[in-house]
Chain A
C-alpha cells in the first residue's frame, strides 16, 4: 500500500496521538505507548494501529472508537483501526512526557521492565522490592500496601515520610 507523508500524514498522526487514555486520562495514547502507528494511504484512507496494555483491558474498544471518531472529525472519512498484539506492550513505552505527567498527578511512574528473551521466569521471594519514590515528597521511605490497585496496571503504596498514599504504575 502506498502511503503518503506531508501535512495530511502529520495531521492524522497528531490527531490520533492526542486522544486521551480512558483509564489514565492525564496521558495521551501516544504518551502511554499504545499508539503504534498512523499511516495515510495515497487515497486518503487512514490506518491507525493500537496495542492493548493488559489482556483484560476493558478500554480497548473505547480507545479504538475514540481514535476513529477524532480522525473522522479531523477530515479523514475512511479510518481503519488495527490491533497489534505483538510485540506485547510494555511500560517501557511510556514516554518521558508521559512519566512527567504521571508524577505531576501523584502517580509514581514505572521502573524499567525486566528484560527476558526465553526460559523460565525466576520467582523472587526475598521480599525486597525496588524502592519507589513518593511522587508527593520524593521520599524513598515507602511501602507497598497492595500489589493490585484500582486497575491492573497500578499498585498501591504509602509514604512513610509524608504519610500520603499513592499509586505506582507497575513495570510490565
Chain B
C-alpha cells in the first residue's frame, strides 16, 4: 500500500515544518502499523487459524498493557512508573502489529481499532492471568514474570518457526523487548522475595494467588504450530530459577478449570475493557 490517505495528515504536517524539527501528538485512527509491508498470506498457511492466533496474542498484549498503564501515578517510585509504562508501550506495539495482521489474514480488512475497541469481552481470547486486577506491586511483578517468560519462550519459537513471515518478524522483534521485560520482573521478584519480611510475605502471597492461573499457559491447541505444553519446562524453569534466587518456593496449585483461549473469562475483563474502550465508543468516527 503506497501512500494511503492515512499518511496525508502526517505529510501535511511534515511539509509545513520541512526543517524536520516538527513535533506533534501521536494518536491512532490514521496509521497502519504494517504500512508498506508485504501482506499476502503464504500458500499452505491456514489464514483463519493464523488470524485467530494473532488476535489472541494481541489480546494478551493489549490487556497486559492496560494493566501496566494502570500503575501510572500509583507506582512506588517514578522510575518504576516509567519502566512499567515503557513495558506496556512495547506490548501495545506488539498488539497493534498482531491485530493488523489478524485483520489482513482473516480477509475482513478490519484494522487494529476494530479489534481493540469494538469487540466485547466475550470475543477476547486473552489469558485470564493477564486480566486479573493489579493487586499490590508484588502481584504485578510476579504476574509480569510469568507472562513475559511465557511470551518470550513462545516468541523465540515463532521467530524461527512461524510459517507466516509477518508473525515471525513481529516475534523476532518481540524477543528483544520481552528479554528486557522478563529481566525487569525477575530483578524485582528477587529484590522483594529476598527483601524485608513484609515484601517476602507479599511475594509469597502473589505466587500463591497466581499459581491456579498458570495452568492455561500450557494447555490447548498449538499457537501457529507451537504447542503450549512444549513451553512448560522452559517457563517454569525460569520462574523456579528466580524463586531460588529470591528464597521463595514455587507453589503447586490445582489449575483453574477452562481457558481464556476458549473464551472463559473472569469478571475482571469487562470493566477493564469498559475503560479502555470508552473514548473510542463515545466517538466512533473520531481520530486523534
A residues neighboring B (CB under 8 Å): 19-20, 22, 25, 52, 54-62, 64-66, 68-70, 72-73, 79-90, 113, 116-121, 123-125, 127, 145-152, 156, 170, 172
Contact = CB atoms under 8 A, between A and B. Distances in A.
29 contacts: A20-B21, A55-B173, A56-B94, A56-B96, A57-B93, A60-B31, A61-B10, A65-B14, A66-B20, A69-B15, A70-B18, A79-B3, A80-B36, A85-B34, A85-B37, A85-B172, A86-B169, A87-B172, A89-B173, A90-B176, A118-B159, A123-B238, A125-B187, A146-B79, A148-B79, A148-B184, A152-B86, A170-B180, A172-B176
B229 interface: no
Nearest to B31: A61
Given A85-B166, A118-B160, A125-B187, 18 more contacts: A25-B21, A55-B177, A56-B94, A64-B36, A65-B13, A68-B11, A69-B14, A69-B18, A81-B35, A83-B37, A85-B169, A85-B170, A86-B172, A123-B242, A124-B183, A147-B187, A148-B79, A148-B184
**The 6 nearest A-B residue pairs measured at CB:** A56-B93, A55-B93, A65-B10, A85-B169, A146-B79, A86-B169
Nearest to A118: B160
Nearest to A57: B93
Given A64-B7, A88-B176, A123 B182 contact: yes
Chain B residues touching A, majority SS: helix
Given A64-B7, A146-B83, A120 B20 contact: no
A71 B33 CA distance: 22
B180 A85 contact: no
Chain A residues touching B, majority SS: loop
